[in-house]
């Protein structure tokens, strides 16, 4: 028995030794001097009125709910699909969205959001 009983009971912990794992080198790929298709000029369509409104609503409602809200309220209030909305119909859409936004985000935030959408969406 040892003079220090706690020392006798503890055994040294084995330290793991790092063993290098053999690495298999892959053959090199050939690189050609060609432009990827992403760099070619493409016609970019501008976002529709509905997409712009949904983009402004998405920080408050989430992207999915914002898109559904725009589709639903354009169908109910304007009796047409969201894809065919024009800038002249934007005030009517925003008036239809107003009560829902008051409930979801509060009166002050809703009014500021609607004013921002009215100002920015074209």
Residue 62: left (phi > 0), alpha (psi -120 to 50), or beta?
left
Q: Is the pLDDT of residue 2 over 90?
A: no
Grade residue 45 by pLDDT with cuts at 50, 70 and 90.
confident
**CA distances in angstroms from 105 to 5, 59, 61, 109, 114, listed in the order given:** 68, 11, 9, 6, 11
Domain ranges of the chain: 49-120
Q: 81: closest CA among 50, 35, 119?
A: 50
pLDDT tens digits along 11-32? 666 666 666 666 666 666 665 5
């Amino acid at each position: 028995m040892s003079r220090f009983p706690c020392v006798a009971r503890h055994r040294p912990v084995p330290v793991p030794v790092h063993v290098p794992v053999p690495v298999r080198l892959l053959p090199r790929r050939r690189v050609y001097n060609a432009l990827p298709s992403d760099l070619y000029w493409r016609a970019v369509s501008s976002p529709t009125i509905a997409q712009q409104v949904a983009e402004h609503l998405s920080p408050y409602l989430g992207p999915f709910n914002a898109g559904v809200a725009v589709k639903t309220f354009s169908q109910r209030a304007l009796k047409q699909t969201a894809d065919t909305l024009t800038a002249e119909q934007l005030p009517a859409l925003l008036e239809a969205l107003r009560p829902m936004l008051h409930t979801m985000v509060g009166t002050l935030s809703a009014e500021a959001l609607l004013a921002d959408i009215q100002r920015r969406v074209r």
